[in-house]
Amino acid sequence: MDGKELQVLLQNLKNGDINVDDAIQRLKHLPFEDLGHANVDHHRQLRLGFPEVIFGEGKSVGQMTQIVTALLDKGSNVLVTRVDEPRALQLKEHFPRLVYHEDARCLTLEQKPVEITGRGKILVVSAGTSDIPVAAEAVVTARLLGNEVEQLYDVGVAGIHRLLARKELLFTAAVIIVVAGMEGALPSVVAGMAGRPVIGVPTSIGYGASFGGIAALLGMLNSCAAGVTVVNIDNGFGAACAASLMNRDVG
């Protein structure tokens, strides 16, 4: 239930179109729903503007099935992240309307149209093709959260002319998510050019001394460009959530 639906419910109660018992029935699972293995937070839509998202890694298909069912019963759109293809296909047997985004390793189901609430465009930039899975997770998430999203892939610092040839995209974005592995230098370059909020996402892509993304993480945290915000390694979802909040009018 989102803010608009709650307003309609309360107005119907005020007008006498429903009784108190009906209203209580609608609201009784609003804070959360205990499934035994998970407490599904149905109140999150009201607090944050988007429903709870399912982190699929480590969850069984049975567990995810129950959580998806709980979200669908409340009329929520569904996003499941970090799902490999075999488990995604099993979930689609239960919910044929689920869409699997292979690059992003995400499943989505839109019960109601996504309303664009962002003030401007979010641009997702990846340094290399190998960084696309993390970047694609950010793209899918940001779109489902109600943002116009554009993407720009494989424009890392090893061939900076590729970025310079598309620099006009940087200047039209409201928020920029920059995904990079190896030494993680690209967010500094973008932040130094664009004059926009830049969210750096280090990835675990790289050879041994990259330490699974730690080198990129430290490089971004030590950026010489002012105002670069950094999320955790491979966290395209978290970057999209932060970008969506930055792109939204307060209220």
Annotate 192-220 with three-state secondary structure: HHHCCCEEEEECCCCCHHHHHHHHHHHHH
Answer for the pair 78, 69: CB distance below 8 angstroms, yes or no: no
Secondary structure (DSSP) of 61-111? HHHHHHHHHHHHHTT--EEEES--HHHHHHHHHH-TT-EEETTTTEEEE-S
Q: Which residues of 117-134 are buried (b: 16+ CB within 10 A; e: fewer)?
A: ebeebbbbbbbbebbbbb
pLDDT tens-place values along the chain, 251 residues long = 555 666 776 777 677 777 777 766 666 556 655 566 665 555 556 666 677 788 999 999 999 998 899 888 877 889 999 999 999 999 999 999 999 999 999 999 998 888 888 899 999 999 999 999 999 999 999 999 999 999 999 999 999 999 998 989 999 999 999 999 999 999 999 999 988 999 999 999 999 999 999 999 999 999 989 889 999 999 999 999 999 999 987 55
- State CA 244 to chain mean position distance: 8
pLDDT number for residue 26: 64
